[in-house]
Amino acid sequence: MDNPLTPRSNDLGLTAAAKANTPIESQEAKTFAKQLQGFWVTFKTIFKKPNTVQYPEEREPTAERFHGRHQLNRYDDGLEKCIGCELCAWACPADAILVEGETNTDDERYSPGERYGKVYQINYLRCVFCGLCIEACPTRALTMTNEYELADESRAKLIFEKEDLLAPLKSGMLQPPHPMVPGTTHIDYYRGDITGGSNG
Amino acid sequence: MTNAEIIATDPGWITLVKGLLIFAVCVLATLMSVWGERRLVARMQQRMGPNRVGPFGLIQALADGVKLALKEDLIPKAADRIVFVVAPIISVTTCFMAFAVIPLSGPVNLFGYETVMQMTDIPVGVLYVFAIASIGVYGIVLAGWSSGSTYPLLGGLRSSAQVISYEIAMGLSLVAVFIYAGSMSTAEIVSAQSQWWFCVTLFPSFVIFAISMVGETNRAPFDFAEAEGELVGGFHTEYSSLKFALFFLAEYVNIVAVSALATTLFFGGYRALPGLGFTESWLGGWFTVFWFLAKVVFFFFIFVWLRGTLPRLRYDQFMKFGWKVLIPFSLIWILIVSTLRVLSQQGAPRSVLIGFSFGIVLLVLAGSSLFESSKKRRAQEDELGEVAVPSFPVPAIPGKINKNRAEQLNG
């Protein structure tokens, strides 16, 4: 080779292509008539049905596992699943979650076991809906719903408090604080053995 | 009676009414065309377009206008204040003025006066339109210059270069029309098309005019003056509020004006489609306005269709096309047309005329095939011939690999 500076590797397989006599499609190869095809495409499309979803009136369901607003779940008797461990807050890459735990007492019990989340805030101005908090949660207390309509007119309104995030009480559930089902411990709760409501 | 004679008998207040009507129609046409364009382009992209404000979103453009008017009006510190304010006014007034000479209808009865819907008919009507259009460019150039910022300046410069180059081609394309109509008055040109429209008899002129009118109005695919991807907003980057609205208005009135001009010069103006001549007397002659508007809408559709289909050209390609294709082509076409005209006026027999046209067609065919073959030969030479290997490393050029070089590379 007379020119040592000429790199060998920069011909992107074109040499092989030239050897195999493969025609390389060039811009000039397109005839005028072919260029006019675009006009037909746009004209034809005028009469097609638009893809638009008329959003506020017409809503299409999200994907099944869409990452929407968070929810704090409950056991079937109404006690909260959150144990105030702050793992979600630590997992959060956007620092959107604030948790302050508190100790359960026998008079005032919000969750089975030792601790519960007293303050639970998610700042939706920061949240990126990555779902790392859900992965971090040891009790499956935190999950995400499919709800995506989270716009609001002030910053304060977009910091969701615990009562905004808690799952609604279903029938048979009792508003905490209340004791655990008689004769059970937190272990039974964690195993998922509590199915009915508590009466006390 | 010619239109000029009819107009000469108009009392002053009729002229005033006509002026007001033209103004109202232009503003309304702008509102409707903004809406129409957005709806049409949306359909071409399988979307819906504005459909919220009013039935079918019809008053969307009006709502946008109100919104613009209520916005804060900023003048940049670096801007030349007076010119900055005057520029949009120049833009918008000139494009309205072009309508003064366009005949919108045949003879009609307006408040008891027999007249035509044309404000004035001057013997050099089409030249007047061109002069006005050229002044309109000042609006864009001055806006770009006075903004005191780089992108608007570039947009303004591009626009001036563009309009200058395409106005030459446009003007040349009209020479054939003048030769055949024997006049530059718009009304005369319309009546000269009572037999055949000029878009048929002078088809090449029409093609040149149609291309250059897109260039002239700064519309896609020739919208370099406000190329979003390259120049942000081009000449109106620094404009806001009502001043921006004026540029917006000017752009659309310009499109309507150029469409109206094309209608007048090549599509028989307010005259009905061939074979439907009896409709011209409907509604006391007012039905001719419908024909005029229908043709304008047709041109407007073409504008939108172009925008929906073609990507923007590269600036140098555009200039090359204007100077090296359109202008020489129109010059040759004028030569042919005037030769034919002179031949027929001096009473040359039909056979000579046909022979001459036939000869021209043969010449064009021979020329184009020669051009094609030379292009092919050049392409072959490129493929086979020795290409000097530069002494520095170069990236491979797709499709242009030379065989010797390929062997060399592979050892």
Most A-contacting residue of B37, B38, B304, B401 (CB-CB within 10 A), to test interface: B401
Q: Alpha-carbon distance B213 to B211, whole Å?
A: 6
Q: How many CB atoms lie within 10 A of CB B8?
A: 11
Per-residue burial over B287-303, b = 16 or more CB atoms within 10 Å of its CB, e = otherwise: bbbebbbebbbebbeeb
A19 and B406 within 8 Å at the Cβ level: the answer is yes
Mean pLDDT estimate for chain A? 84
Q: Alpha-carbon distance A69 to A145, whole Å?
A: 5
Show me where the domains of chain B are located.
3-313
Residue B166, both tokens:
């395409």
| Longest Cα–Cα distance in chain B | 93
Structural contact between residues B91 and B246, judged by C-beta atoms closer than 8 angstroms: yes
First to last CA, chain B: 86
Torsion of CA B182, B185, B186, B191, to 10 degrees: -50
A45-68 confidence digits (pLDDT tens) = 889 888 888 888 888 888 999 999
Residue A97, both tokens:
């979650």
CATH class of the domain at A70-191:
alpha beta
Contacts with B140 (C-beta within 8 Å, 6 or more apart), sequence order:
B87, B91, B155, B156, B159, B160, B163, B218, B225, B235
B375 → chain A, closest CA residue: A28
B395 and A5 within 8 Å at the Cβ level: the answer is no
Set of chain B residues whose Cβ sits within 8 Å of the Cβ of A2 = 389
Which of B46, B308, B406 is closest, CB to CB, to A15? B406
Name, of A129-133, B134-138, B304-308, B362-366, the range with top average pLDDT: A129-133
Structural contact between residues B113 and B104, judged by C-beta atoms closer than 8 angstroms: no
Report phi then psi at A40, rounded to 5.
-65, -40
Classify residue A112 by its DSSP letter. S
Residue B136, both tokens:
């309109």
Residue B115 three-state SS: strand
> What integer pLDDT is reported at residue B384 of this predicted model?
59
Among candidates B158, B160, B152, which has minimal Cα distance to B238? B152
Contacts with B27 (C-beta within 8 Å, 6 or more apart), sequence order:
B249
Q: Look at A124-128, A190-194, B230-234 and tell me which has the smallest mean pLDDT.
A: B230-234
Alpha carbon of B88 to those of A116, B70, B128, B236, B244: distances in Å?
66, 17, 21, 9, 8
Long-range CB contact pairs, B335-344, < 8 A, 24+: B336/B360, B337/B175, B337/B176, B337/B179, B337/B180, B337/B202, B337/B205, B338/B179, B341/B179, B341/B180
Q: How many CB atoms lie within 10 A of CB B219?
A: 20
Q: If contacts are CB pairs under 8 Å, which of residues 128-187 in chain A contact chain B?
A: none
A52 → chain B, closest CA residue: B47
A57 → chain B, closest CA residue: B52
Report phi then psi at B250, rounded to 5.
-60, -40
Which of B47, B309, B399 is closest, CB to CB, to A50? B47
Q: Alpha-carbon distance B172 to B332, whole Å?
A: 10
> What integer pLDDT is reported at residue A135 of this predicted model?
94
Most A-contacting residue of B44, B47, B301, B325 (CB-CB within 10 A), to test interface: B44
Most B-contacting residue of A15, A26, A51 (CB-CB within 10 A), to test interface: A15
Average pLDDT of B317-323? 86
> What integer pLDDT is reported at residue A200 of this predicted model?
42
- Least Cα separation, residue B399 to chain A (angstroms): 6
Contacts with B320 (C-beta within 8 Å, 6 or more apart), sequence order:
none
Average pLDDT of A98-127? 92
**B224 vs B367, higher pLDDT:** B367
Among candidates A170, A6, A156, A187, which has minimal Cα distance to A74? A170
A8 and B403 within 8 Å at the Cβ level: the answer is no
Most B-contacting residue of A14, A43, A54 (CB-CB within 10 A), to test interface: A14
B48 and A50 within 8 Å at the Cβ level: the answer is yes
A18 and B403 within 8 Å at the Cβ level: the answer is yes
Residue B97, both tokens:
């003025």
* In the block, residue with structure tokens 């590797």: A9
> What integer pLDDT is reported at residue B254 of this predicted model?
87
Contact residues of B toward A, CB < 8 A: 40, 42-48, 305, 308-310, 389, 391-393, 395-396, 398-399, 401, 403, 406, 408-411
Q: Alpha-carbon distance A167 to A141, whole Å?
A: 10
A45 and B43 within 8 Å at the Cβ level: the answer is yes
**B156 vs B275, higher pLDDT:** B156
A5 and B392 within 8 Å at the Cβ level: the answer is yes
Set of chain B residues whose Cβ sits within 8 Å of the Cβ of A26 = 398-399
Q: If contacts are CB pairs under 8 Å, which of residues 10-29 in chain A contact chain B?
A: 10-12, 14-15, 17-19, 24, 26
Residue A57 three-state SS: coil
* In the block, residue with structure tokens 């270069």: B161
Structural contact between residues B301 and B256, judged by C-beta atoms closer than 8 angstroms: no
Average pLDDT of B233-248? 85
Residue A74 three-state SS: strand
Q: Alpha-carbon distance B342 to A67, whole Å?
A: 79
Q: What is the pTM of this model?
A: 0.74
Set of chain B residues whose Cβ sits within 8 Å of the Cβ of A21 = none
> What integer pLDDT is reported at residue A69 of this predicted model?
93
Mean pLDDT estimate for chain B? 83
